[in-house]
Amino acid sequence: MPVRDLTAEDFVSYRTMASGAFGGGLDPAAPTAPRDFSPGQIPLGIDASTLPGGPRGVLAAGARIRRDLVALGGGVARCGGIAGLAVHPAYRGEGLFGTLLTALIARCGAEGMELSMLYPSNPSLYRRYGYQVVARGRSLIVPLVDLQRIPAVPGRRLVPVTAESMPRLRRLHHELTAGDNLMLRREPPLFPETLPAHPWSALLLEDAAGTAQGYVSWARRAGTADDPGLEVHELLGRTREDRQALLRTLGSWSTVTELVRLRLRTEDPVLDVLPGGGVRPDPSPEPLVMMRVIDTAATLRARQAPAALDGTLRLVVEDATVPEGTCRAAGTFLVSVHQGTVTVAEPDEPAGAAAAEALGSCRLDIHSASLLLVGGRTLADARRLGLRAHADPAAESFLDALLAGPRPSVLDAF
Protein backbone atom coordinates (compact mmCIF):
# COMPACT_ATOMS: atom_id res chain seq x y z
CA MET A 1 0.00 0.00 0.00
CA PRO A 2 2.31 2.78 -1.17
CA VAL A 3 1.53 6.29 0.07
CA ARG A 4 2.16 9.07 -2.45
CA ASP A 5 1.82 12.84 -2.80
CA LEU A 6 -1.50 13.89 -4.26
CA THR A 7 -1.78 16.43 -7.08
CA ALA A 8 -4.51 18.61 -8.55
CA GLU A 9 -5.60 15.62 -10.63
CA ASP A 10 -6.46 13.79 -7.39
CA PHE A 11 -8.36 16.68 -5.84
CA VAL A 12 -11.92 15.75 -6.86
CA SER A 13 -11.35 12.12 -5.90
CA TYR A 14 -10.02 13.15 -2.50
CA ARG A 15 -12.80 15.67 -1.82
CA THR A 16 -15.43 13.13 -2.88
CA MET A 17 -14.05 10.59 -0.42
CA ALA A 18 -13.60 13.16 2.36
CA SER A 19 -17.08 14.66 1.98
CA GLY A 20 -18.51 11.15 2.07
CA ALA A 21 -16.66 10.53 5.34
CA PHE A 22 -17.30 13.84 7.10
CA GLY A 23 -20.52 14.98 5.40
CA GLY A 24 -21.61 18.38 4.13
CA GLY A 25 -19.65 20.74 1.97
CA LEU A 26 -19.89 21.74 -1.68
CA ASP A 27 -20.31 18.97 -4.26
CA PRO A 28 -16.69 18.34 -5.36
CA ALA A 29 -17.87 17.98 -8.97
CA ALA A 30 -19.82 21.27 -8.99
CA PRO A 31 -18.54 23.90 -11.47
CA THR A 32 -17.86 26.37 -8.65
CA ALA A 33 -16.00 23.85 -6.46
CA PRO A 34 -12.21 24.20 -5.97
CA ARG A 35 -10.00 22.21 -8.30
CA ASP A 36 -6.77 22.01 -6.33
CA PHE A 37 -5.48 21.64 -2.79
CA SER A 38 -4.95 24.84 -0.83
CA PRO A 39 -1.41 26.20 -0.64
CA GLY A 40 0.51 25.52 2.54
CA GLN A 41 -0.70 21.91 2.68
CA ILE A 42 0.84 18.56 1.79
CA PRO A 43 -1.80 16.09 0.53
CA LEU A 44 -0.99 12.37 0.73
CA GLY A 45 -3.01 9.34 -0.26
CA ILE A 46 -3.22 5.69 -1.20
CA ASP A 47 -4.55 4.64 -4.62
CA ALA A 48 -7.31 2.04 -4.67
CA SER A 49 -5.60 0.54 -7.72
CA THR A 50 -2.73 -0.67 -5.49
CA LEU A 51 -5.17 -2.90 -3.58
CA PRO A 52 -6.64 -6.20 -4.80
CA GLY A 53 -9.39 -5.52 -7.31
CA GLY A 54 -9.19 -1.75 -6.76
CA PRO A 55 -10.25 0.54 -9.62
CA ARG A 56 -8.15 3.30 -11.11
CA GLY A 57 -8.96 6.94 -10.39
CA VAL A 58 -10.24 6.25 -6.86
CA LEU A 59 -8.43 7.04 -3.62
CA ALA A 60 -8.58 4.37 -0.93
CA ALA A 61 -7.37 6.83 1.73
CA GLY A 62 -6.09 10.38 1.95
CA ALA A 63 -5.20 13.24 4.28
CA ARG A 64 -3.53 16.65 4.37
CA ILE A 65 -0.65 18.05 6.43
CA ARG A 66 -0.86 21.76 7.18
CA ARG A 67 2.39 23.71 7.49
CA ASP A 68 1.45 25.62 10.63
CA LEU A 69 3.52 27.60 13.11
CA VAL A 70 2.61 27.55 16.82
CA ALA A 71 3.74 29.56 19.82
CA LEU A 72 5.85 27.45 22.16
CA GLY A 73 7.44 28.61 25.40
CA GLY A 74 8.16 32.08 24.09
CA GLY A 75 9.46 30.71 20.79
CA VAL A 76 7.86 29.34 17.64
CA ALA A 77 7.69 25.73 16.44
CA ARG A 78 6.72 24.19 13.11
CA CYS A 79 3.65 21.97 13.39
CA GLY A 80 2.11 19.50 10.98
CA GLY A 81 -1.64 19.84 11.32
CA ILE A 82 -3.28 16.57 10.24
CA ALA A 83 -6.57 17.32 8.51
CA GLY A 84 -9.18 15.41 6.57
CA LEU A 85 -7.83 11.90 7.20
CA ALA A 86 -10.38 9.59 5.61
CA VAL A 87 -10.54 6.00 4.38
CA HIS A 88 -12.92 4.93 1.61
CA PRO A 89 -15.77 2.75 2.98
CA ALA A 90 -14.71 -0.11 0.70
CA TYR A 91 -11.29 -0.33 2.36
CA ARG A 92 -11.96 0.30 6.03
CA GLY A 93 -10.66 -2.29 8.43
CA GLU A 94 -7.76 -3.24 6.15
CA GLY A 95 -5.00 -1.31 7.91
CA LEU A 96 -4.97 1.75 5.62
CA PHE A 97 -5.56 4.16 8.49
CA GLY A 98 -2.38 3.10 10.28
CA THR A 99 -0.35 2.96 7.08
CA LEU A 100 -1.37 6.47 6.11
CA LEU A 101 -1.00 7.99 9.59
CA THR A 102 2.50 6.49 9.97
CA ALA A 103 3.40 7.99 6.59
CA LEU A 104 2.01 11.36 7.69
CA ILE A 105 4.16 11.28 10.84
CA ALA A 106 7.22 10.37 8.78
CA ARG A 107 6.50 13.19 6.32
CA CYS A 108 6.19 15.70 9.16
CA GLY A 109 9.66 14.65 10.23
CA ALA A 110 11.05 14.87 6.71
CA GLU A 111 9.63 18.40 6.42
CA GLY A 112 11.48 19.51 9.58
CA MET A 113 8.36 19.86 11.74
CA GLU A 114 8.85 19.64 15.48
CA LEU A 115 5.26 18.72 16.35
CA SER A 116 2.03 17.37 14.88
CA MET A 117 -1.50 18.39 15.86
CA LEU A 118 -4.96 17.04 15.14
CA TYR A 119 -8.57 17.20 16.33
CA PRO A 120 -9.82 13.64 16.91
CA SER A 121 -13.32 12.30 16.69
CA ASN A 122 -11.99 9.05 18.21
CA PRO A 123 -8.91 9.79 20.37
CA SER A 124 -8.06 6.12 20.94
CA LEU A 125 -7.36 5.62 17.22
CA TYR A 126 -4.69 8.31 17.21
CA ARG A 127 -3.30 7.46 20.62
CA ARG A 128 -2.05 4.17 19.22
CA TYR A 129 0.34 6.20 17.08
CA GLY A 130 1.72 8.41 19.85
CA TYR A 131 -0.75 11.30 19.92
CA GLN A 132 -1.82 12.60 23.32
CA VAL A 133 -4.73 14.85 24.36
CA VAL A 134 -3.19 18.14 25.53
CA ALA A 135 -6.10 20.61 25.43
CA ARG A 136 -9.86 20.98 25.17
CA GLY A 137 -11.85 23.76 23.60
CA ARG A 138 -13.85 25.69 26.16
CA SER A 139 -16.74 28.13 25.87
CA LEU A 140 -19.07 29.90 28.27
CA ILE A 141 -22.60 31.19 27.77
CA VAL A 142 -22.70 34.73 29.16
CA PRO A 143 -25.86 36.83 29.73
CA LEU A 144 -25.31 40.19 28.08
CA VAL A 145 -27.10 41.95 30.91
CA ASP A 146 -24.16 40.98 33.16
CA LEU A 147 -21.72 42.71 30.81
CA GLN A 148 -23.73 45.92 30.85
CA ARG A 149 -22.79 46.37 34.51
CA ILE A 150 -19.08 46.71 33.69
CA PRO A 151 -18.04 50.37 34.12
CA ALA A 152 -16.51 52.32 31.25
CA VAL A 153 -12.71 52.30 31.04
CA PRO A 154 -11.29 55.82 30.52
CA GLY A 155 -8.70 56.45 27.83
CA ARG A 156 -9.90 53.69 25.49
CA ARG A 157 -11.79 53.80 22.21
CA LEU A 158 -13.08 51.19 19.78
CA VAL A 159 -12.27 51.12 16.06
CA PRO A 160 -13.82 48.80 13.43
CA VAL A 161 -11.34 46.38 11.86
CA THR A 162 -11.10 46.88 8.09
CA ALA A 163 -8.95 45.41 5.34
CA GLU A 164 -6.54 48.28 5.93
CA SER A 165 -6.22 47.66 9.67
CA MET A 166 -6.18 43.86 9.46
CA PRO A 167 -2.33 43.77 9.52
CA ARG A 168 -2.46 45.65 12.85
CA LEU A 169 -4.78 43.04 14.30
CA ARG A 170 -2.52 40.24 13.06
CA ARG A 171 0.55 41.82 14.68
CA LEU A 172 -1.39 42.35 17.91
CA HIS A 173 -2.53 38.72 17.90
CA HIS A 174 1.10 37.58 17.55
CA GLU A 175 2.17 39.86 20.37
CA LEU A 176 -0.60 38.96 22.81
CA THR A 177 -0.30 35.19 22.24
CA ALA A 178 3.52 34.98 22.13
CA GLY A 179 3.62 33.75 25.73
CA ASP A 180 1.00 31.06 25.16
CA ASN A 181 1.59 27.45 24.21
CA LEU A 182 0.28 26.05 20.90
CA MET A 183 -1.70 29.07 19.69
CA LEU A 184 -1.43 29.08 15.89
CA ARG A 185 0.52 32.01 14.45
CA ARG A 186 -1.94 32.44 11.56
CA GLU A 187 0.60 32.97 8.83
CA PRO A 188 -0.15 32.99 5.08
CA PRO A 189 -0.93 31.03 2.99
CA LEU A 190 -2.96 28.96 5.46
CA PHE A 191 -4.43 32.17 6.85
CA PRO A 192 -5.12 34.92 4.31
CA GLU A 193 -3.87 38.43 4.98
CA THR A 194 -7.27 39.83 4.05
CA LEU A 195 -10.36 40.04 6.23
CA PRO A 196 -11.90 36.66 7.11
CA ALA A 197 -15.12 35.79 5.33
CA HIS A 198 -18.56 36.99 6.43
CA PRO A 199 -19.95 36.89 9.14
CA TRP A 200 -16.62 37.52 10.91
CA SER A 201 -16.27 41.01 12.43
CA ALA A 202 -13.87 42.60 14.89
CA LEU A 203 -13.09 45.75 16.86
CA LEU A 204 -9.67 47.08 17.86
CA LEU A 205 -9.28 48.70 21.25
CA GLU A 206 -6.97 51.75 21.15
CA ASP A 207 -5.60 54.13 23.72
CA ALA A 208 -5.67 57.92 23.32
CA ALA A 209 -2.44 57.79 21.30
CA GLY A 210 -3.90 55.29 18.82
CA THR A 211 -1.88 52.31 20.06
CA ALA A 212 -3.73 49.01 19.80
CA GLN A 213 -4.33 47.52 23.25
CA GLY A 214 -6.62 44.61 22.42
CA TYR A 215 -9.36 43.33 20.16
CA VAL A 216 -12.54 41.28 20.09
CA SER A 217 -13.75 39.23 17.11
CA TRP A 218 -17.13 37.60 16.66
CA ALA A 219 -19.69 36.13 14.27
CA ARG A 220 -23.38 36.98 14.32
CA ARG A 221 -25.81 34.37 13.04
CA ALA A 222 -29.50 33.65 13.39
CA GLY A 223 -29.96 32.20 16.85
CA THR A 224 -31.92 29.13 17.90
CA ALA A 225 -33.12 27.73 21.20
CA ASP A 226 -29.73 26.04 21.63
CA ASP A 227 -27.56 28.70 19.99
CA PRO A 228 -27.39 32.33 21.13
CA GLY A 229 -26.42 33.38 17.60
CA LEU A 230 -23.54 35.55 18.80
CA GLU A 231 -20.18 33.82 19.15
CA VAL A 232 -17.06 35.63 20.30
CA HIS A 233 -14.06 33.95 18.73
CA GLU A 234 -11.43 35.84 20.71
CA LEU A 235 -11.17 38.56 23.30
CA LEU A 236 -7.55 39.59 23.94
CA GLY A 237 -6.24 42.60 25.83
CA ARG A 238 -2.93 43.74 27.24
CA THR A 239 -4.29 44.53 30.70
CA ARG A 240 -7.18 43.61 32.94
CA GLU A 241 -8.78 47.00 32.18
CA ASP A 242 -8.49 46.38 28.42
CA ARG A 243 -10.33 43.09 28.78
CA GLN A 244 -13.02 44.83 30.85
CA ALA A 245 -13.48 47.44 28.12
CA LEU A 246 -13.90 44.75 25.47
CA LEU A 247 -16.38 42.76 27.55
CA ARG A 248 -18.37 45.92 28.19
CA THR A 249 -18.82 46.58 24.48
CA LEU A 250 -20.38 43.13 24.05
CA GLY A 251 -23.16 44.27 26.37
CA SER A 252 -24.42 46.57 23.61
CA TRP A 253 -25.79 43.51 21.78
CA SER A 254 -28.48 43.14 24.46
CA THR A 255 -30.98 45.01 22.25
CA VAL A 256 -30.99 42.10 19.74
CA THR A 257 -30.02 39.02 21.75
CA GLU A 258 -29.73 37.94 25.38
CA LEU A 259 -26.68 35.67 25.38
CA VAL A 260 -23.22 35.35 23.91
CA ARG A 261 -21.04 32.29 23.50
CA LEU A 262 -17.52 33.26 24.58
CA ARG A 263 -14.64 31.02 23.52
CA LEU A 264 -11.74 30.85 25.97
CA ARG A 265 -8.12 29.83 26.12
CA THR A 266 -7.26 27.13 28.67
CA GLU A 267 -6.12 29.60 31.33
CA ASP A 268 -7.82 32.68 29.94
CA PRO A 269 -7.31 35.91 31.93
CA VAL A 270 -10.78 36.99 30.75
CA LEU A 271 -12.13 34.70 33.48
CA ASP A 272 -10.77 37.09 36.07
CA VAL A 273 -12.90 39.99 34.82
CA LEU A 274 -16.13 38.23 33.87
CA PRO A 275 -19.01 39.31 36.10
CA GLY A 276 -20.76 36.59 38.06
CA GLY A 277 -24.46 35.98 37.92
CA GLY A 278 -25.72 33.85 35.09
CA VAL A 279 -22.49 32.74 33.41
CA ARG A 280 -22.66 29.01 32.69
CA PRO A 281 -20.68 26.40 30.74
CA ASP A 282 -21.51 25.91 27.09
CA PRO A 283 -23.37 22.58 26.80
CA SER A 284 -21.88 21.89 23.37
CA PRO A 285 -19.25 19.13 23.13
CA GLU A 286 -15.71 20.30 23.91
CA PRO A 287 -13.36 19.68 20.96
CA LEU A 288 -10.17 17.81 21.85
CA VAL A 289 -6.68 18.74 20.68
CA MET A 290 -4.07 15.99 20.35
CA MET A 291 -0.35 16.54 19.86
CA ARG A 292 2.59 14.33 18.99
CA VAL A 293 6.28 15.11 19.30
CA ILE A 294 7.96 14.57 15.94
CA ASP A 295 11.47 15.77 16.84
CA THR A 296 12.30 15.91 20.54
CA ALA A 297 15.56 17.84 20.24
CA ALA A 298 14.10 20.43 17.86
CA THR A 299 11.02 20.88 20.07
CA LEU A 300 13.20 21.69 23.06
CA ARG A 301 15.43 24.04 21.04
CA ALA A 302 12.39 25.93 19.74
CA ARG A 303 11.42 27.23 23.18
CA GLN A 304 12.99 29.83 25.41
CA ALA A 305 14.12 28.92 28.92
CA PRO A 306 13.68 30.85 32.18
CA ALA A 307 16.63 33.22 32.55
CA ALA A 308 17.51 31.95 36.02
CA LEU A 309 17.49 28.26 35.06
CA ASP A 310 20.92 26.71 34.54
CA GLY A 311 21.89 23.05 34.30
CA THR A 312 21.77 19.84 32.31
CA LEU A 313 19.78 16.63 32.38
CA ARG A 314 19.77 13.33 30.55
CA LEU A 315 16.41 12.82 28.82
CA VAL A 316 15.31 9.46 27.41
CA VAL A 317 12.17 9.33 25.23
CA GLU A 318 10.74 5.92 24.31
CA ASP A 319 8.39 5.47 21.35
CA ALA A 320 7.02 2.06 20.44
CA THR A 321 3.98 3.41 18.58
CA VAL A 322 5.62 3.78 15.14
CA PRO A 323 8.47 1.88 13.44
CA GLU A 324 11.97 2.93 14.42
CA GLY A 325 13.24 5.73 12.20
CA THR A 326 9.76 7.07 11.37
CA CYS A 327 10.58 10.32 13.18
CA ARG A 328 13.09 11.75 15.64
CA ALA A 329 10.99 11.62 18.81
CA ALA A 330 12.72 8.66 20.47
CA GLY A 331 16.28 8.69 21.75
CA THR A 332 18.60 9.83 24.50
CA PHE A 333 19.26 13.57 24.72
CA LEU A 334 21.47 15.74 26.89
CA VAL A 335 19.43 18.90 27.53
CA SER A 336 21.34 21.94 28.76
CA VAL A 337 20.00 25.36 29.69
CA HIS A 338 22.15 28.48 30.09
CA GLN A 339 21.14 32.15 30.01
CA GLY A 340 17.72 31.42 28.53
CA THR A 341 18.97 29.18 25.70
CA VAL A 342 18.24 25.47 25.36
CA THR A 343 20.85 23.25 23.71
CA VAL A 344 20.45 19.56 23.02
CA ALA A 345 23.29 17.11 22.35
CA GLU A 346 23.42 13.39 21.68
CA PRO A 347 25.25 11.37 24.36
CA ASP A 348 27.99 10.34 21.94
CA GLU A 349 28.79 13.93 20.95
CA PRO A 350 31.98 15.27 22.60
CA ALA A 351 30.14 17.92 24.62
CA GLY A 352 27.65 15.37 25.86
CA ALA A 353 30.01 12.49 26.57
CA ALA A 354 32.05 14.53 29.04
CA ALA A 355 29.03 15.43 31.15
CA ALA A 356 26.95 12.27 30.81
CA GLU A 357 28.04 10.63 34.06
CA ALA A 358 27.26 13.68 36.19
CA LEU A 359 23.66 14.23 35.05
CA GLY A 360 20.33 13.48 36.61
CA SER A 361 18.06 11.56 34.27
CA CYS A 362 14.44 11.58 33.13
CA ARG A 363 12.63 8.85 31.17
CA LEU A 364 9.39 9.54 29.27
CA ASP A 365 7.21 7.51 26.95
CA ILE A 366 5.98 9.22 23.78
CA HIS A 367 2.66 10.15 25.37
CA SER A 368 4.17 11.86 28.40
CA ALA A 369 6.71 13.56 26.10
CA SER A 370 3.90 14.84 23.88
CA LEU A 371 2.01 16.10 26.93
CA LEU A 372 4.97 17.74 28.66
CA LEU A 373 7.07 19.20 25.85
CA VAL A 374 4.23 21.46 24.69
CA GLY A 375 4.31 23.15 28.10
CA GLY A 376 2.16 23.86 31.11
CA ARG A 377 2.18 20.42 32.75
CA THR A 378 4.46 18.64 35.21
CA LEU A 379 5.83 15.12 35.40
CA ALA A 380 3.46 14.57 38.33
CA ASP A 381 0.55 15.50 36.02
CA ALA A 382 1.73 12.90 33.51
CA ARG A 383 1.93 10.21 36.17
CA ARG A 384 -1.59 11.07 37.40
CA LEU A 385 -2.78 10.34 33.87
CA GLY A 386 -1.09 6.94 33.97
CA LEU A 387 1.71 7.93 31.60
CA ARG A 388 5.31 6.83 32.08
CA ALA A 389 7.33 9.74 33.44
CA HIS A 390 10.18 8.88 35.80
CA ALA A 391 13.04 11.13 36.88
CA ASP A 392 15.64 11.75 39.54
CA PRO A 393 14.30 14.43 41.92
CA ALA A 394 16.70 17.13 40.72
CA ALA A 395 16.06 16.27 37.06
CA GLU A 396 12.29 16.36 37.61
CA SER A 397 12.44 19.81 39.20
CA PHE A 398 14.67 21.03 36.39
CA LEU A 399 12.43 19.74 33.59
CA ASP A 400 9.27 21.04 35.29
CA ALA A 401 10.88 24.50 35.52
CA LEU A 402 11.99 24.39 31.88
CA LEU A 403 8.54 23.44 30.58
CA ALA A 404 6.47 25.66 32.88
CA GLY A 405 3.99 28.07 31.40
CA PRO A 406 0.31 28.29 30.56
CA ARG A 407 -1.42 25.09 29.58
CA PRO A 408 -1.83 24.71 25.80
CA SER A 409 -4.65 26.53 24.05
CA VAL A 410 -5.79 26.21 20.45
CA LEU A 411 -8.57 28.44 19.10
CA ASP A 412 -8.29 27.42 15.44
CA ALA A 413 -9.91 24.29 14.04
CA PHE A 414 -9.15 22.59 10.73
**For the chain, which residues make up each domain, given as ranges?**
4-113, 138-281, 290-402
Question: Given this model, what pLDDT does residue 222 score?
Answer: 80
Residue 132 or 347, more confident? 132
b vs e for 62-94, b when ≥16 Cβ sit within 10 Å of the residue's Cβ?
bbbbbbbbbbbbbebbbbbbbbbbbbbeebeee
Answer yes or no: same fold for 4-113 and 138-281. yes
Radius of gyration from C-alpha coordinates of the chain: 23
Q: Is the pLDDT of residue 228 over 80?
A: yes
Q: pTM of this prediction? A: 0.93
Q: pLDDT class for 354, splitting at 50, 70, 90?
A: very low
Instruction: State the Cα–Cα distance between residues 215 and 160, nearest whole angstrom.
Output: 10
Q: What is the mean pLDDT of the segment spanning 269-294?
A: 92
Contact (CB, 8 A) for 128 and 57: no
Over residues 382-406, the mean pLDDT reads 96
pLDDT, tens only, 9-43: 999 999 999 988 887 766 766 777 777 899 999 99
Mean pLDDT for 274-292 is 91
Read off φ and ψ for residue 284, nearest 5 degrees.
Answer: -65, 155
> What is the pLDDT averaged over residues 223-236?
85
pLDDT above 90 for 358? no
Contact of 289 with 408, CB cutoff 8 Å: yes
3-state secondary structure string across the chain: CCCEECCHHHHHHHHHHHHHHHCCCCCCCCCCCCCCCCCCEEEEEEEHHHCCCCCCCCEEEEEEEEEEEEEECCEEEEEEEEEEEEECHHHCCCCHHHHHHHHHHHHHHHCCCCEEEECCCCHHHHHCCCCEEEEECEEEEEEHHHHCCCCCCCCEEEEECCCCCHHHHHHHHHHHHCCCCCCECCCCCCCCCCCCCCCEEEEEEEECCCCEEEEEEEEECCCCCCCCCEEEEEEEECCHHHHHHHHHHHHHHHHCCCEEEEEECCCCHHHHCCCCCCCEECCCCCCEEEEEECEHHHHHHHCCCCCCCCEEEEEEEECCCCCCCCCECCEEEEEEEECCEEEEECCCCHHHHHHHHHCEEEEEEHHHHHHHCCCCCCHHHHHHCCCCEEECHHHHHHHHHHCCCCCCCCCCCC
Residues 253, 261 contacting (CB under 8 angstroms):
no
Q: What are phi and psi of 197, to 5 degrees?
A: -70, 155
Q: Using CA atoms, how far apart are residues 190 and 35, in angstroms rounded to an integer? A: 17
CB-based contact 118:131 (threshold 8 Å): yes
User: Which of 368, 339, 292 shows the shortest CA–CA distance to 117?
Assistant: 292
What backbone phi and psi angles, to 5 degrees, belong to 232?
A: -90, 115
* Residue 47 clears pLDDT 70, i.e. is over it: yes
Task: Grade residue 278 by pLDDT with cuts at 50, 70 and 90.
Answer: confident
Residue 6 clears pLDDT 50, i.e. is over it: yes
Q: Architecture of 290-402 per CATH?
A: 2-Layer Sandwich (3.30)
State phi, psi for 173 to the nearest 5 degrees: -60, -45
Predicted confidence band of residue 362 (pLDDT cuts 50, 70, 90): very high
Q: Taking residues 78-102, what's their average pLDDT?
A: 96
The architecture that CATH gives domain 4-113 is: 3-Layer(aba) Sandwich (3.40)
Confidence at residue 31, expressed as pLDDT on a 0 to 100 scale: 72
Domain 138-281 in this protein, CATH class: alpha beta
Closest CA to 331 of 359, 376, 305, 297: 297
Q: How confident is the model at residue 4 (pLDDT cuts 50, 70, 90)?
A: very high
Please state, in angstroms and rounded to a whole number, the distance separating the CA atoms of residues 264 and 273. Answer: 13
CB 26 within 8 A of CB 32: yes
For residue 227, what pLDDT is reported?
Answer: 74
